[in-house]
Amino acid sequence: MPKLSIILFSGTIDKFIPVGILSQTAASMNIPVRIFVTGWALNAFMKSGVEKAIRIDKNFEDMAPILMDGLKRMNAPSWYDMIKQAKQIGDVKVYACSLMAMALGINSKDQFDPIVDDIVGAASFLQEASDGQVIFI
């Protein structure tokens, strides 16, 4: 079965939520998922970074209260919990971008949240993603 590979660049919660939804849905459909975290999204995947990942894209910040209130009203899990659940039910891997990690002074996997499986380069990720769909968020 083809994989769903997601490249997550943005460091805003309005981008993290769809990654959680897509990962959880794909995992429940037995579709392997690979998430390549790069750019400013890396900050949210650092230890204690999840609690700090509350920014929303400036273009939509006026709608943030509507989104957050709606998710709370629905008792929806957080984007982080959705990815954790996806990893529990299916073949889901989260990779941190090695180049961006080095640029940000991150030199060890231990600096990342346990949800991160490994630090890999873009070539390794693209090779693993070559037999499926790639989405850039």
User: Domains, the chain, ranges and CATH?
Assistant: 4-136 (3.40.1260.10)
State the average pLDDT for the chain. 89
Ordered DSSP codes for 103-135 = HTT---GGGB-TT--EEE-HHHHHHHHTTSEEE
Rounded average pLDDT over 67-82 = 82
CA dist., res. 121 & res. 123, Å (int): 5
Higher pLDDT pick, 114 / 137: 114
Confidence (pLDDT) at 121: 97
Least confident of 4-8, 9-13, 52-56, 124-128: 52-56
pLDDT at residue 37 above 80?
yes
Structure tokens at 110: 């231990």
Q: Please give the model's pTM, rounded to 2 decimal places.
A: 0.90
- pLDDT surpassing 70 at residue 47: yes
